[in-house]
Amino acid sequence: MDIPNMGVPAGLADRLTMAEQHEYLRGRLSRRRLLRSGAATATLVAVGGALGTGSASAAPVPGRAATDGVDGAAVAPIGRHLAFGAEPDTRFRVSWQVPAPVKKPFLRFGRHPWELSHRIEAEVRALHTPALTPGGAPVDQYYLHVELDHLVPDTTYYYGVGHQGFDPASGQAISTLSTFRTAPSRRGRGGRPYEPFTFTAFGDQGVSAHAAGNDHVILAQNPRFHLHAGDICYADPAGSGQSSDGSVYSAATWDAFLAQTETVASKVPWMVAYGNHDMEAWYSPNGYGGEDARFFLPGNGPDPRHAPGVYSFTYGNVGVISLDANDVSYEIPANLGITAGRQTAWLERRLRELRHDEGVDFIVVFFHHCAFSTTHQHASEGGVREAWVPLFEKYRVDLVVNGHNHVYERTDAILGNKVSRAVPSGGTVEPERDGVVYVTAGAAGRSLYGFDAPDTYEGHENHQDTVATYHFAQGGVKVPETVAWSRVRYTGYSFIRVDVAPAHAGRTATMKVTALAEDGTRVDHYTIARRAGGRGGR
């Protein structure tokens, strides 16, 4: 099954769009369970009213508000995770979860742990997931969010989250405090370049010992932010393309995932893109209603109603774009065409804006489905190649990061689907001249995939001039192809670290991309070089 089914029969799910699956589930459960249990339809509340995502729906516990319930002193916040706002130098988002309804949830923050005088009421987004499959149990989840604006750039803030009965500024609860740091100011640095910084990226994480191991190694890199290229937690494992999987949707997997990730995400902005496993049909016609309750992402994309995982932000001299590849996927067409071309048109506008911004040297784009990969399981997505690769080449995107295939694979520099410049481990690429390098970093924690060609990575080179593979064309057809662009292949849990070294105008700025195994061993590295822009604020 290549479409997450959440209780929709496999054969039927393969033929239905995400919106149709949503209607199927709502109708089936309304007839068979909601009415039988006495849960009145009128108790349903529109999450979209708070989130701006239309008809995404969920229900609080019937008969009581989402912020009423147990003694707050007996409930501790869990699953804290940060995100940038649209302007990372002045805007942050703090999110967390509570295991039961609480009263008056809030966030405290300040520049010192003993000065948490700023107190902001939290927004509550409650999800009620009924038993979607035989033998399943309903799940109630309570997610809380605070939007922080007008922050001071390049500043460390301390914060704590709480509610009535649990104050992070008092007693033992003070041990729950954490920190975040705003990005350097975009308003100028008097001709000086930005300070060097690091960010990390991967996709296809889930909940596992390997996923937790990658998190620990990532934290040791001290990244300023992390990019997650989709298939976040696998609450619905049926989207894996393995019909023998036999698994069913489990909303509680999100609880385990957020608890696992909190060690990093409570300190490092965790910026997510949405993959095929992240379409959860029960909550909304677009499948993203559950994610909208759990995450608070920048809302500056072209179509927040249909594609809330599409957004952009700029950190220092790097512009970052998150895309929703479900919109263009031929392999898994549940949301194919959901933005009616608006996402692609916005992508070109945003790439043009970033290339005309003299304060931006590098452009990084991340999304789920691979433009170029040679694995058994998913290989390459022809929809991405048709819709977006020409734009990546036109604007010479510096780095494209994908997931979907549970391996590490890196291409040479590509133009026109062909190698334009070989980039061996340790090499340097200049995208403006050489073309675009694509990285598949989908080995964050789920079961690993395989290649038809042998692994070849740093210290274990086994290069082949050509590799037989395929890509998905319209209608989900597999089209065989023989390619020469597969430079590095590593079948092991891993992620990428990107070290950014800005430079004075006219000199060479660099991004060093390093692939690290879950034990910290380096399996690949190369450098992206570009002449730094000339804006006076650099």
Residue 525 has pLDDT above 80, yes or no: yes
DSSP-derived letter for residue 169 is T
Mean pLDDT of 430-453: 97
Please tell me the distance from the alpha carbon of residue 350 to that of residue 310, in angstroms, as a whole number.
Answer: 11
Tell me what pLDDT residue 15 has: 77
- Kindly state the average pLDDT of the residues 258-272: 97
Q: Residue 282 to residues 62, 176, 278, 287, 289: CA-CA distances in angstroms?
A: 18, 34, 12, 7, 8
**DSSP per-residue letters across 514-528:** EEEETTS-EEEEEEE
Strand partners, 143: 97, 125
Question: What confidence score (pLDDT) does residue 536 get?
Answer: 29
Q: For residue 183, give the amino acid letter.
A: A
The residue type of 264 is V
Q: What is the pLDDT of residue 41?
A: 29
Residue owning tokens 């390619």: 483
The residue to which tokens 């405090």 are assigned? 177
Q: Which H or E run contains 440? A: strand 438-441
Radius of gyration of the chain (CA): 23
**Whole-number pLDDT of residue 237:** 84
Task: Please name the residues in contact with 135: beta carbons below 8 A apart, sequence gap of 6 or more.
Answer: none
CA separation for the pair 14, 149 (Å, rounded): 43
Which pLDDT score, from 0 to 100, does residue 54 have? 28
- Residue 183 clears pLDDT 50, i.e. is over it: yes
Please check the confidence at residue 11 and state whether its pLDDT lies above 70: no
236 within 8 A of 277, measured Cβ to Cβ: yes
What dihedral do alpha carbons 424, 425, 426, 430 form, nearest 10°? 50
Asked if residues 403 and 368 have their Cβ atoms less than 8 Å apart, the reply is yes
Residue 190, pLDDT score: 61
Contact 460, 489 (CB under 8 A): no
Q: What is the mean pLDDT of residues 111-116?
A: 91
pLDDT of 189 reads 61
Helices (H), 188-227: 209-220
Distance CA 260, CA 74 (A): 21
Please give the residue that has the higher pLDDT: either 450 or 24: 450
Strand duo 380-381 + 270-272: pairing: unpaired
Average pLDDT over residues 68-82: 87
Share of the chain residues as helix, strand and coil, in percent rounded to the nearest 5: 20, 30, 50
Has residue 437 got a pLDDT over 90?
yes
535 confidence band (pLDDT: 50, 70, 90): very low
In sequence order, the β-bridge partners of residue 186 are none
pLDDT tens-digit profile of 219-231?
999 999 999 999 9
How many CB atoms are located within 10 Å of the residue 34 CB?
18
Q: What value does the mean pLDDT take over residues 444-456?
A: 96
Q: In this predicted structure, what is the pLDDT of residue 43?
A: 27
User: Is residue 59's pLDDT more than 50?
Assistant: no
Residue 106 has pLDDT above 50, yes or no: yes
Mean pLDDT of the 427-453 span: 97
State the pLDDT at residue 225: 98
Residue 47 has pLDDT above 90, yes or no: no
Is the predicted pLDDT of residue 36 greater than 70, yes or no?
no
pLDDT grade for 56, boundaries at 50, 70 and 90: very low
Supply the mean pLDDT for the chain.
88
Percent residues over pLDDT 90 in the chain: 76
Residue 380 has pLDDT above 60, yes or no: yes
Least confident stretch, 34-38, 118-122, 477-481:
34-38
pLDDT tier, 2 (very low <50, low <70, confident <90, very high otherwise): very low
Give the mean pLDDT of 287-294. 96
**Residue 293 contacts residue 143 (beta carbons within 8 Å):** yes
Q: Which of 486, 363, 372, 514 is nearest to 432 (CA)?
A: 363
Phi-psi category of residue 80: left, alpha or beta, with phi > 0 → left and psi -120 to 50 → alpha: beta
**pLDDT over threshold 90, residue 42:** no
Q: Which domains does the chain have, with CATH numbers?
A: 1-43 (no CATH), 72-180 (2.60.40.380), 195-236+251-531 (3.60.21.10)
Residue 213 has which token pair?
């191991």
Please state, in angstroms and rounded to a whole number, the distance separating the CA atoms of residues 507 and 510: 10
Judged against a pLDDT cut of 50, whether residue 281 lies above it is answered with: yes
> For residue 298, what are its two tokens?
């920048």
DSSP letter string, 305-336: TT-TT-EEEEETTEEEEE--GGGT-SSSGGGT
Cα separation, 218 vs 264, in Å, equals 8
Residue scoring higher pLDDT (121 or 187): 121
